[in-house]
Amino acid sequence: MRSLRVGIDVGGTFTDLVAVESWSGRTVTHKLASTPREPQRAVCDGLARLLAQYDPPPAIELLAHSTTIATNALLGQIGLELPRAGLVTTAGFRDVIEIGRQNRSEIYNLFVRRPRPLVAREDRLTVRERIDYRGQILLELDESEVRRVCAELGARNVAAVAVCLLHSYANDVHERLLAQAISAALPAARVMYSSQIDPQYREYERFSTTVVNAVLAPIVEAYLERLARDLRRRGVSTTLLVMRSDGGLATAQRIRSLPAAIIESGPAGGVIATAALGKQIGDARLLSFDMGGTTAKAGAVVDGVVQVAGEFEAAGATHSGRAVKGSGYPVRFPFVDLAEVSAGGGTIAWRDAPGVLHVGPLSAGADPGPACYGRSDRATVTDANVVLGRLNPSALLGGAFPIDAARARAAIESVAEPAGLSVEAMALGIVAIVDHAMAKVLRIVTVERGIDPRGFTLCAFGGGGPLHACALAEELGIARVVVPAHPGLFSAIGLLDAMLVETELHPVLQTTAQMDHRAVERWFARSESRAAQALAVQGARPENIAFRRQYDARYQGQSFELTIEHDASPEAIAARFHDAHRARYGYDVRSESVELVNAKLTGVGSLPFVRDFDAGPQARGGDRDGAAARKVYVAGGFVDVPVLQRALLADGRRVDGPAIVEDYDSTTYVPPEWSLAVDGEMLRLERQVA
């Protein structure tokens, strides 16, 4: 049967669509403007354009989707109003979600404001009950309290309710009673309880995660229902899969109960695609580098495994690639460990009052965009690359998007003239500053995680990634760079490489000397059984399901944990933690007790038909490569540099830098002392060491 495997990445500006044909392995791509008020419309329009190319249209065997709708809702995007929600908690803990931690997002700002609580104070109700940290009931939940809460919530007409009681991670009997009663009294409301969503200690983070999940549920559920309805109208009946923040897929039905699991859905695709590319080329240690129009993101693949963190702050701010604590809403769901910085093609270069040059954090965005787009006079990184000759001075997107090189030069000159610099020197300075800023995010996911980047390969994608990749690699001592096929749509390609994922967590809160190892083993066994069943329901074959057992561990008395792998004995588990602590912080204390906070089980299942596709190298150009030449600023002056068309490069072709390779959706710059080799659909760049 002729069928397609389709991945659709919905971003704030563009919706990217990638499809692979089952009968040929050919990759078909589309890029169209997103429709923020009705994001499902761009998805359906893209599919319609895809299927219109075929007669008769083939079946869609896989439809995987990533979306920014959850993030946009928390950021207050127009048309995505958060619903009125209620919170039910233990008496005395009404204001936990507003008090939070002592972290201040701006230490020296006396008037700093915390994020607006997602549940108004008048909608936070309390009940008299108490369970201690060991799970023992100190005060029973009275039935009259349950009736009172149900009546008050009904009077408030809330669309979602979060039930968060003290120490419910140890015993959730009261939470379940309340949730069942509220669900019966308010059948139209989405009711969630914390031991179901995030069964971990630390009340603030547990309450926040549950509240975020509850307020997002009506929005995400409505969106997925509209999308499924519109797809059915267009004759697409395959199961819709959605990418989670941890890079795994889940059915739309599963996501409806865990909408907070897709907050970081979009950025995860590029790292998943990087890991898949690593398997294809036999490289288990890669860094993903994604540079777009406004931001640059970095992630790491270590020994073939995408690095995943257990907590993030939704809708929070970042500074120099690091999340600003206290600026968002804590969410304890696993997510691909990414660092992000405001550095992209549209990042604006400007001078402060003393005359110091800055690049960012403000961006020209898509509208008005860089000066070379013809609608602005502000200098950007893209304009600097046009001035230096690294970007086509006439047009991009295969000639479809005109470039005004004179306007780009005038914009850079407006910044250069007050400093007494030439236009080219200022353009080099702008590129150097943004390269340094982007190198920081690569250091965050490597050096700051105890990883030496010099043994890694840098995978560069996005519209601007291949243009800056070699400079970043030099700064970090990396000798190898790869540029995948369709770099501008690489995150959408990651959707086709992702697998179904299920996760479970169990609080332990005991030292390795105290733990009941057999009891934990029994929990892992039961959890694997539940995860296998959930994955099978979503379409995974039993023989394609694998499990990973891990712990969150710390030295007793520490405040934060490291994630380590499971082992055969408590002593071996403790040894793993000591090793992990030394790798991260440079020391360990083997005489200290190791405390296990949580046991974690991750189940991964591949979809049965994915392996049936042959997406091998496609036919490429022969001897022609479209070679031309243009003036590029190299080593203090303009020189003639060959400009090659990627679609025409023959497999095995080698080119020494300086050189430029133009693709439909990206441009690769090969500096001096670097060489390029064409390897099927991929470009390999290596630094020539004397």
pLDDT digits (tens, 9 = 90+) for 451-496: 999 999 999 999 899 999 999 999 999 999 999 999 999 999 999 9
622 has pLDDT over 70? no
Closest listed residue to residue 602, CA positions, set 548, 550, 523, 544: 548
- For the chain, counts of helices (H) and of strands (E): 16, 39
The whole-number pLDDT of residue 155 equals: 96
The whole-number pLDDT of residue 616 equals: 44
The whole-number pLDDT of residue 365 equals: 77
Closest listed residue to residue 291, CA positions, set 242, 360, 235: 360
Q: At 399, phi and psi to the nearest 5?
A: 95, -5
Residue that has been written with the tokens 């910044």 in this structure: 415
Local confidence band at 613 (pLDDT 50, 70, 90 cut-offs): very low
The whole-number pLDDT of residue 250 equals: 96
> Is 268 in contact with 243 (CB distance < 8 Å)?
yes
* Residues in the chain, total: 690
The whole-number pLDDT of residue 390 equals: 97
The whole-number pLDDT of residue 272 equals: 95
Q: At 364, phi and psi to the nearest 5?
A: -75, -10
Q: Edge-to-edge strand order for the sheet containing 160-164?
A: 124-127, 85-90, 160-164, 190-193
The angle formed by the CA atoms of residues 293, 296 and 301, to the nearest 5 degrees, is 140
CA dist 641 and 627 (Å) reads: 10
- CB 410: neighbour CB atoms within 10 A? 16
- Return mean pLDDT, the chain: 92
The whole-number pLDDT of residue 78 equals: 63
Strand partners, 124: 87
Integer distance in angstroms from the first to the last C-alpha of the chain? 54
Average pLDDT estimate for 85-114: 92
Local confidence band at 649 (pLDDT 50, 70, 90 cut-offs): very high
Average pLDDT estimate for 532-541: 94
Q: Which two tokens stand for residue 216?
A: 């997002």
> Comparing 619 with 104, which gets the higher pLDDT?
104
642 has pLDDT over 90? yes
Q: Which two tokens stand for residue 145?
A: 């309290």
DSSP state of 533: H
CA dist 48 and 36 (Å) reads: 19
Average pLDDT estimate for 22-47: 88
> Is 489 in contact with 46 (CB distance < 8 Å)?
no
426 has pLDDT over 50? yes
Task: Supply the pTM of this predicted model.
Answer: 0.90
DSSP state of 542: G
**pLDDT > 70: what percent of the chain?**
96
Q: Which two tokens stand for residue 234?
A: 């267009």
Burial 27-66 (b: 16+ CB within 10 A, else e): bebbbeebebeebbbbbbbbbeebbeeeeebbebbbbbbb
CA dist 564 and 57 (Å) reads: 48
Local confidence band at 624 (pLDDT 50, 70, 90 cut-offs): low
Average pLDDT estimate for 245-260: 94
Average pLDDT estimate for 530-539: 95
605 has pLDDT over 90? yes
Q: Write the pLDDT tens digit of every residue in 300-310.
A: 999 999 999 98
Question: DSSP per residue over 271-333, as a string?
Answer: HHHHHHHHHHHT---EEEEEE-SS-EEEEEEETTEE-EES-EEET--EETTEE-TTSSEEE-S
CA dist 460 and 643 (Å) reads: 19
Average pLDDT estimate for 553-571: 95
CA dist 472 and 459 (Å) reads: 11
CA dist 85 and 218 (Å) reads: 10
Q: Look up residue 45 and give its amino acid.
A: D
Q: Which of 99-108, 419-428, 564-573 has the lowest mean pLDDT?
A: 99-108
CA dist 577 and 565 (Å) reads: 9
> Is 189 in contact with 182 (CB distance < 8 Å)?
yes
Q: Look up residue 175 and give its amino acid.
A: E
> Comparing 407 with 81, which gets the higher pLDDT?
407
Residue that has been written with the tokens 């519109």 in this structure: 230
CA dist 402 and 560 (Å) reads: 52
> Is 332 in contact with 310 (CB distance < 8 Å)?
yes
Closest listed residue to residue 251, CA positions, set 233, 268, 231, 228: 228
